[in-house]
Amino acid sequence: MDVEQGKILTFAMNTEGSFRINESQVLSGLDISLLETALQRTRKMSHSEVGAWLLSQFPR
């Protein structure tokens, strides 16, 4: 994670090594860019506001 730039670097591993991923392998459909946006919002909003915003981004 690069907190200064608001970037999250995510990787996965397989038998051939590691590679960069842009979507969570645990939470299907969760794009890492959404988490980066949430991280950047913590600079201007409270954590509870960011949490509420983040939850609103998921389909119901």
Q: For residues 46 and 38, is the Cβ–Cβ distance under 8 A?
A: no
Q: Which domain holds residue 19?
A: 11-56
Tally of domains within the chain: 1
What is the predicted pLDDT for the residue at 58? 84
Does residue 3 sit within a domain? no
Q: pLDDT tens-digit profile of 2-57?
A: 677 778 999 999 999 999 999 999 988 899 999 999 999 998 999 999 999 999 99
How far apart CA 56 and CA 58 sit, in angstroms, is: 6
Does residue 30 sit within a domain? yes
Tell me the angle at which helices 47-56 and 32-41 cross, rounded to the nearest 10 degrees: 150
